[in-house]
Amino acid sequence: MPKPVVVGAVIYDPKVVLIWDIIQTFFAGEGCPIDCVFYSNYELQVTALVDGHIDVAWNSPLAWVDAQRRTGGRCRALAMRDTDRDRITHLLVRTDSGIGALEGLRGKTVATGAVDSPQATLLPLHHLRRYGLVPERDCAVRRHDLLVGKHGDHIGGERDALRSLQAGESDAAALLDLNWDAWRADGTLDPSRIRILASTAPFDHCNFTVLDRFPAERAAEWTAVLFRMRYENAAHREMMDLEGLKAWLPGRTSGYAALEEAAHESGFFAEATR
């Protein structure tokens, strides 16, 4: 029996364990067994990857940036979900706010997700800086630090940021495009009361990360098996619906530049290591 590839994942909800149960069963059936190691936060997982305790890490975008930082750029992205590509974050305001441009947020309060959420905090605040607004100097930031360490994998921080906007406690809120679409559809937000003020440039989300020491032939075999998952196959669809994808795609690293800048300018990792 071939030696299993050890895959790390951060568990932000007990149901995520089911996703990995299905993936593990699928890989075993394809003759490419995997072992899963679960972590409570991305800092532990990146450390495990760097120290060689796991072969592959299912990394958030910030964990990817951290892994690259800690290894001097020796990471490779093997694969990602179709939905990880070209995400954007919207900055929302109330339709009756009278705010027509980002400049209108000067002196106002912007609601964000958790401190380590790329989509709900780091990238939208980076966007404000690009347009001349320095967070905490030119506008106040009302952060919603739910489950810090999980890099905003869950919707909690964004949901609370939206509520803060709806309740009039904040003047703007950051929301991932997927949540904007879902919450308009299910009535969580009313588009006649909340509108998009601005949007970030597209960025990429999670990826399966390996270090350069992971053998290329094992990486090729592993990704070949992953890409055999098909949404049309009912046995795979349950997992793909839970994880929010229709297809696995090759990993790309061109969508993380803005997050690298955001982490640098906010001193995120300097604070994390203090």
| Token representation of residue 27 | 């890989």
Residue 44 CB, nearest distance to another protein (Å)? 5
At residue 189, what is the residue type?
L
For residues 181 and 238, which CB has a smaller minimum distance to another protein in the complex? Answer: 238
Contact in structure between 121 and 113 (CB atoms under 8 Å): yes
Give min distance, CB of 22 to another protein, in A: 10
- The least distance separating another protein from the CB of residue 99, rounded to whole angstroms, comes to 41
Pick between residue 147 and residue 155 the one whose CB is nearest to another protein.
147
Q: Tell me the torsion sign for CA atoms 228, 231, 234, 239.
A: positive
Residues that bind another protein (CB under 8 A): 11, 14-15, 17-18, 37-41, 44, 48
User: Residue 6 or 178: which CB sits closer to another protein?
Assistant: 6
> How many residues make up the chain in this entry?
274
Separation CA 105–CA 76 (nearest Å): 39
Which residue lies nearer to another protein by CB, 48 or 225?
48
Q: CA 191, CA 224: separation in Å to the nearest integer?
A: 42
- Residue 146's closest CA among 129, 164, 134? 164
Closest approach of another protein to the CB of residue 43, in Å:
9
**Closest separation between CB of residue 163 and another protein, Å?**
26
Task: Extract the tokens encoding 162.
Answer: 């939206």
Question: In this complex, which beta carbon is closest to another protein, that of residue 17 or of residue 257?
Answer: 17
* SS3 state of residue 116: coil
Q: How far apart are alpha carbons 21 and 53 in whole angstroms?
A: 20
